[in-house]
Structure 1
Amino acid sequence: MNIFGVGLPEVTVILILALLIFGPKKLPELGKQLGKTLKSLKKASNEFQNEIDQVMNEQDKDESPISIESNQTNEINQEKIDSENSKK
């Protein structure tokens, strides 16, 4: 068992210290609070990631027509230049 680079012996020592510091009555309450905190952090992280993905998708949609128009304009300009060069 290796969680965040901490092995089983280290986890055992941490749990024993927590038990000594907070006592057996307070420890389950702290565990619940820690679980709720981690859950809310994960939810916030997911929401943030979803917003970033949404903005990126909107930018991709917005850029696509511009790049198509830009390519068409470049092609038309190139055709004009080619036709002018062929006339000379």
Structure 2
Amino acid sequence: MFGLGPTELIIIAIIVLLIFGAKRLPDIGKGLGGAIKEFKNVKKELSSDKTNDNSDNKDEKENVIETNDTAETLEAKVANKVLEQVPGVKKVMDVKKKADAVKNLLK
């Protein structure tokens, strides 16, 4: 599909190893795995909620509003899980917030 052969994958793995180091790779893998697991759980919850909403067609407008709210909470849940479980992402987000605050002060 992308034309990535074994040589290219080995080069990418070496670059990732050099960037993150051998000590941080298990933590990053654990964090990403947990985030993916949580995303799948939330997706299952939403699909079960959606089937329950489809069976109850009494208040269609309220269902649309609730679906929009659950979509927003899905995004918030996934973002929070990623920030909690991947160590580098949280630090980067903190630095970005500080940089934005400094930028706003300089304006």
Looking at both structures, which has the greater relative contact order when contacts are Cα pairs under 8 Å and sequence separation is at least 6?
A: 2
CA distance in 2, matches of 1:8, 1:38: 26
Specify the alignment match of 1:58 in structure 2.
56
Specify the alignment match of 1:48 in structure 2.
46
Specify the alignment match of 2:102 in structure 1.
none
Structural RMSD (CA): 2.2
The AA in structure 2 aligned to 1:21 is I
Q: How far does residue 7 in structure 1 lie from its aligned partner after superposition? A: 4.2
CA distance in 2, matches of 1:53, 1:40: 20
Equivalent pairs counted in the alignment come to: 57
Q: Which runs of 5+ in 1 are unaligned?
A: 63-88
Q: How far does residue 12 in structure 1 lie from its aligned partner after superposition? A: 3.2
User: What's the TM-score, normalizing by structure 1?
Assistant: 0.53
Aligned with 1:24: secondary structure? coil
Higher helix share: 1
**Where in structure 2 are the equivalents of 1:7-86 lying within 5 Å?**
7-9=4-6, 10-59=8-57
